[in-house]
Amino acid sequence: MQLKSDINMKGDLGGTLSVEFKPNSSFNDYCAQHIVNYDPDRFEVVAVRFYHGKETIVTVFALDKNRIEGTTFNKGKMPVKKFKLNFTFLKDILLFIEECNFTLTTGHYPLEDMEVVNR
């Protein structure tokens, strides 16, 4: 999957993160088992947000497939349900991750313009 390389900087460092789950593991099924009122036939995870500050919160955004044809949301947008969870949820997800990779940058210089010279 190719993501936009534009980084929307809010703080000192920003970037993107990629996660690959272990073979034969389904994040959607995991959510169904660990999130109250999460129905895998109705919802599909489209984003996960991690916030750490005054509190630590994991937010799972799931497409609401029952409302995709509805009119109760703005045209051109997709209807999602937000599930707010505590840090324990994030810690448990680590058991399902095969590989994780992320780079944070100041945003002042494009990563593709960097050349490592200490070889």
Return the SS3 of 112: helix
Phi, psi of 72 (to 5 degrees): -90, 15
pLDDT in tens, the chain (119 residues): 444 555 566 678 887 788 888 888 888 888 998 899 999 999 999 998 888 889 889 999 999 998 877 666 677 788 999 999 988 887 788 888 899 888 888 888 888 888 889 97
Res 11: pLDDT:
75
Residue-wise pLDDT tens digits, 49-70: 888 889 889 999 999 998 877 6
Return the SS3 of 7: coil
Structure tokens at 70: 């509805």
Q: 51: how many CB neighbours lie within 10 A of its CB?
A: 11
Dihedral of alpha carbons 52, 102, 29, 46, sign: positive
Return the SS3 of 91: helix
